[in-house]
């Protein structure tokens, strides 16, 4: 049943598609290939000798870079998918349609790879199915909730993206059926996202005495949810500006034309979301009576995060929107992303056990494995974009299904 | 185990009669089908720092011999090979011994954290770890306010190590190995209720030997390891930041919001979708 337009068999089709479609000797490949290989070697050592062999984790700081950056920060950046699908499918903002597929693909791959990184961090990964099969259902656990919402959300995103796969394979009937499932998957996906984005913050609620008071509050879940909106959209802006250069040949004319308008709209949403977030942070700060901590090194660090990487990019987004300046928007997006990384790491790593005698600093091996995970994800992303109708238009026969 | 109607009336009755008659019914409880938490009382004024508890613990649980040498002011932590550690602390009341091991909380953060219920609060009271369920995520370690669970970072098949109050021995009707081995009678095993009464009695009878506090009666919502001491507990390595209310309660608000959001958000989204879809098709008609 799977025949492409030339009538070749599926095997021949796959064989052709698996071949590289662009130059192999690019600077990105030259950097990423050795790091991925080194990362694979380190992963072998990790499973052979235990987590302690390549990580600097301690009994007091049992979660480090792989959770704090790969999972908690990575998932915040993947938040663009639920925001954009909300705008396009629920609010029917048609002008953002060109970025839906690429954002969903980004989100799906982010989740797939961060779950992968999570498996590296699990001491006993062979038991990872236990909360799914009921050995046992730890329903009182925030992590149980996050695990299930992760799993179901990946399924929802796969369904959202599946029409692109079906179009690539030339499966007309499947395209039609899968497109029909999109709206259900979107509604399901937004609900799941709102809960696991906040759930990642809720994970740290019981670590009340361990996290610096400037970053701990009972509102962590809400703060994480609100910040995932602009974290995700900044990632969309950032990724869009790179795709614009790297995959220019893939983008349809319509797509290229609409880009500036989309980026402007996203900048506007970011500035509003960041204002809400900044205001909420301020209320939490007042509510918890945290003035006494401000005039300490951690207090200055807090101000750097809040003023430098929330307030400043918020203003930049606002003014660049008014001034119609794409460069400023991209700058604001980068600053915002740094701010989100800082915030997530401050909660999970830097502010965690801030008062301990010795601090956890990730080993170079943890960093290499993290980079290897990110690079592998980019490789897969690139592979998919060059083959499936992600940035380019869908084939003509599939058009009527989504317009 | 539950609190059925008959028990309810009986308790009301006992309470009423007690209020009316006075002291005479004070210790009557409805014990028939209620399993009380087993607990352990550590009286540091009776501890001589002989480390017999540490040695027998290692032997019973097939762990390597604990390190010798107990020096005043030198911190000895529990590790992935040592489930109980005695420390000699310099306090305002001189050198005081203190035991460090799992507190067996009434409402443990670790079991609330565990997504597979590998960490489990047994109905008898001990908090145990179950190997066949654990996926090694270490969320129990992040959540435990006392930093009790220890993870074997240098093993390809890592386990969580912590005191289980010799749960296997308790089920056989024996008492924990450390309590049995203690030559100075510093460890007493019994139901939590009895031990709190016993601790109060000791404080009442020897007010000069003890500070007037049972550590574990209230901290973290109450624990199964109870402490008596001659010196303030904040001077013995107990984090004063640890709250008196339960830790799992901190996540309750979030967990309770989950079913509401899961059920209420989709219809809301569906409603918005339907509303904007109508607009959209009208616009198209106008064009």
CATH number at residue A376: 1.20.1630.10
Whether the predicted pLDDT of B129 surpasses 90 = yes
Which of A48, A63, A208 is closest, CB to CB, to B243? A208
Average pLDDT over residues A191-208: 95
Supply the pLDDT for residue A114. 83
Asked if residue A11 is part of any domain, the answer here is no
Evaluated on CA atoms A136, A141, A143, A147, the torsion sign reads positive
Report the pLDDT value the prediction gives residue B27, as an integer from 0 to 100.
47
- So what's the pLDDT on residue A397? 82
Looking at residues A49-78, what average pLDDT do you find? 94
Longest pairwise C-alpha distance within chain A: 73
First vs last C-alpha separation in chain A: 26
pLDDT at B23 over 50: no
pLDDT band at A16 (very low <50, low <70, confident <90, very high): confident
Number of A–B residue contacts, CB under 8 Å: 167
Residue A163: inside a domain: yes
- pLDDT score recorded for residue A76: 95
| A184 interfaces chain B, CB cutoff of 8 Å | no
Calculate what percentage of chain A has a pLDDT beyond 70: 97
Enumerate the residues of chain B whose CB falls inside 8 A of the CB of residue A210: 142
Sorted by where each begins, the domain ranges of chain B are 1-34, 36-249
What total of structural domains would you count in chain A?
1
Nearest CA-CA distance, residue B8 and chain A, Å: 27
d(CA A186, nearest CA chain B) in Å: 9
- The whole-angstrom separation of Cα A277 and Cα A226 is 6
Q: Could you tell me which residues come within 8 angstroms of residue A6 by beta carbon, excluding any fewer than 6 positions away?
A: none
What's the sign of the alpha-carbon dihedral A167, A169, A173, A174? negative
Q: Is the pLDDT of residue B26 over 50?
A: no
The model's pTM is: 0.89
Greater confidence, B139 or A401?
B139
CA A74 to chain centre: 4
pLDDT at position A244, please?
83
Mean predicted confidence (pLDDT) in A103-116: 91
Residue A209 lies in a domain: yes
Quote the CA–CA distance of B157 and B149 in Å, as a whole number.
Answer: 16
Question: Can you give the pLDDT at residue A254?
Answer: 79
Enter the CATH code of domain B36-249: 3.30.70.20
Whole-number pLDDT of residue B287: 42
Residues of chain B found within 8 Å of residue A143, distances taken between Cβ atoms: 113-115, 137, 139
Distances in Å between the Cα of A207 and the Cα atoms of A50, A365, B92, B97, B142 are 25, 27, 30, 28, 6
Q: Which of A122, A138, A142 sits opposite B117 (nearest CB)?
A: A138
pLDDT band at B21 (very low <50, low <70, confident <90, very high): very low
The domain in which residue A227 lies consists of 38-402
């Amino acid at each position: 049943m799977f025949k492409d337009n030339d009538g070749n068999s599926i095997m021949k089709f796959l064989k052709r598609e698996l071949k590289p479609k662009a130059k192999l000797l690019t600077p990105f490949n030259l950097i990423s290939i050795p790091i991925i290989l080194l990362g694979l070697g380190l992963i072998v050592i990790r499973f052979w000798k235990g987590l302690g062999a390549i990580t600097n984790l301690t009994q007091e700081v049992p979660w480090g870079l792989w959770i704090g950056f790969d999972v908690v920060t990575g998932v915040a950046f993947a938040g663009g998918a639920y925001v954009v699908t909300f705008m396009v499918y629920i609010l029917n903002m048609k002008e953002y349609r060109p970025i839906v597929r690429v954002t969903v693909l980004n989100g799906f791959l982010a989740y797939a790879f961060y779950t992968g990184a999570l498996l590296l961090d699990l001491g006993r990964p062979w038991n990872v199915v236990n909360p799914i099969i009921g050995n046992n259902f730890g329903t009182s656990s925030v992590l149980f909730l996050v695990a299930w919402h992760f799993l179901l959300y990946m399924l929802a995103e796969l369904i959202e993206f599946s029409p692109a796969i079906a179009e690539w394979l030339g499966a007309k009937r499947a395209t039609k059926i899968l497109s029909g499932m999109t709206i259900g998957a979107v509604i399901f996906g937004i609900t799941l996202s709102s809960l696991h984005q906040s759930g990642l913050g809720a994970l740290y609620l019981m670590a009340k005495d361990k996290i610096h008071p400037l970053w701990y509050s009972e509102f962590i879940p809400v703060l994480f949810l609100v910040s995932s909106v602009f974290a995700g959209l900044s990632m969309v802006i950032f990724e869009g500006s790179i795709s614009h250069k790297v995959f220019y040949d893939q983008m349809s004319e319509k797509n290229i034309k609409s880009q500036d308008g989309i980026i402007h709209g996203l900048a506007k949403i970011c500035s509003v979301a960041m204002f809400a977030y900044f205001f909420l942070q301020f209320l939490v700060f007042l509510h918890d009576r945290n003035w006494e901590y401000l005039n300490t090194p951690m207090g200055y660090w807090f101000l750097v995060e809040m003023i430098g990487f929330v307030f400043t990019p918020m203003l930049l987004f606002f003014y660049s929107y008014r001034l119609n300046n794409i460069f400023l928007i991209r700058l604001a997006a980068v600053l915002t992303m740094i701010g989100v990384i800082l915030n997530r790491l401050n909660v999970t790593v830097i502010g965690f056990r801030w008062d301990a005698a010795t601090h956890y600093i990730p080993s170079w091996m943890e960093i290499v494995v993290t980079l290897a995970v990110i690079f592998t994800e980019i490789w897969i992303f690139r592979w998919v974009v060059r083959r499936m109708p992600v940035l380019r238009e869908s084939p003509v026969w599939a058009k009527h299904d989504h317009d | 185990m539950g609190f059925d109607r008959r028990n309810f009336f009986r308790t009301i009755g006992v309470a009423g009669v007690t209020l009316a008659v006075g002291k005479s019914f004070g210790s009557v409880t409805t014990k028939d089908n209620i399993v009380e938490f087993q607990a352990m009382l550590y009286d540091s004024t009776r501890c001589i720092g002989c480390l017999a508890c540490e040695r027998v613990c290692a032997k019973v649980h097939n762990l390597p011999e604990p390190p010798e040498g107990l020096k005043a002011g030198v911190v000895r932590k529990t590790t992935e090979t040592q489930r109980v550690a005695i420390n000699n602390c310099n306090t305002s009341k001189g050198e005081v011994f203190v035991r460090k091991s799992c507190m067996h909380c009434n409402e443990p953060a670790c079991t609330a954290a565990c997504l597979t219920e590998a960490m489990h609060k047994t109905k008898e009271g001990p908090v145990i770890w179950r190997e066949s369920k654990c996926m090694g995520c270490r969320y129990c370690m992040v959540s435990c306010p006392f930093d009790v669970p220890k993870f074997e970072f240098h093993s390809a098949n890592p386990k969580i190590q912590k005191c289980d109050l010799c749960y296997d021995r308790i089920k056989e009707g024996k008492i924990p190995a450390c309590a049995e081995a203690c030559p100075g009678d510093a460890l007493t095993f019994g139901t939590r209720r009895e031990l709190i009464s016993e601790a109060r009695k000791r404080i009442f009878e020897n007010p000069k030997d003890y500070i007037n506090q049972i550590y574990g009666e209230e901290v973290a919502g109450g624990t199964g390891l109870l402490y008596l001491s001659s010196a303030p507990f904040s001077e013995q390595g107990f984090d004063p930041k640890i709250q008196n209310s339960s830790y799992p309660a901190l996540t309750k608000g979030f967990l309770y919001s989950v079913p509401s959001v899961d059920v209420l958000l989709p219809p809301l989204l569906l409603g918005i979708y339907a509303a904007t879809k109508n607009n959209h098709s009208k616009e198209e008609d106008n064009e």
